[in-house]
Amino acid sequence: MLGGMGPLATARFYEAVVRATPADHDQNHIPTVIWSDPRIPDRTAAIVGGGASPVPAMVAVARKLEKSGAEILAIPCNTAHAFLPQVRAATGLACIDMIGETLDRIARTDAERVGILGTRGTRAAGLYDAAAARRGLQVVYPSDRDQFRLIDEAIGFVKSGRRLSLAEDLVASAASRLRSAGADVLVAACTELPIALGSATRLAKVIDSLECLAFACVRASLTDVGDRDRFAGEVVPTAV
């Protein structure tokens, strides 16, 4: 796990992997290597603000994980997926695409318009746009004003651990507006946001991208083909 973006999301992701694993005792769980480096440069700043590229740090961590025996790489950060091709090219790890896994989950429903609750970096990089179009889905974003005043503010509060009740109110407001804009389902497309969903889940169906990544990692890690097929067929990520 290439973590630290941010640390709380990394902790949530490992818990999601453990909960998703069909295990009845310790020895059935998946050996996991976690390298959480919060010093990796800000991904949104690199995309929209001319900030330092996170690629060298991400590649360095991925190589350390590979040397530690990891075979599958998970990056529990949506915005960091803008740099996934460079990480893939620099290692021999099988990198799981959180964006694709999340949209595959939605494509199995009757939803057509997907509201994206994520960072400005995820939005500017178009991470969900092209991937959604390939699956016959449309994406809906908050207005620029709502992105700044609601989503960016909420993410900042979660990362700082402050004013979480206010963060929940902000996300709920953004969710309501996206529903009014025609979104059938919403994606918590920043791995910090599920912590602040609160009443948003009463306003709309929300899919947790981090949970989708966790299920994909478990599915890819199961060595028995029968277990893998049964897991893929019977267990799907649930709305938060």
Pick the catalytic residue from 77, 95, 212, 217.
Answer: 77
Average pLDDT over residues 15-22: 92
User: Are 37 and 61 contacting, i.e. CB atoms less than 8 angstroms apart?
Assistant: yes
Query: CA 92 to CA 180: how far, in whole Å?
Result: 44
The predicted model scores a pTM of 0.89
Q: What does the pLDDT read at residue 237?
A: 45
Catalytic: 190?
A: yes
Query: For 71-163, where are the alpha helices, taking DSSP H only?
Result: 84-90, 98-107, 120-124, 127-134, 144-146, 153-160
Separation between Cα atoms, residue 211 and residue 9, nearest integer Å: 11
Per-residue confidence band for 231, with pLDDT thresholds at 50, 70 and 90: low
Q: State the average pLDDT for the chain.
A: 90
User: 95, 190, 212, 217: which is the annotated catalytic residue?
Assistant: 190
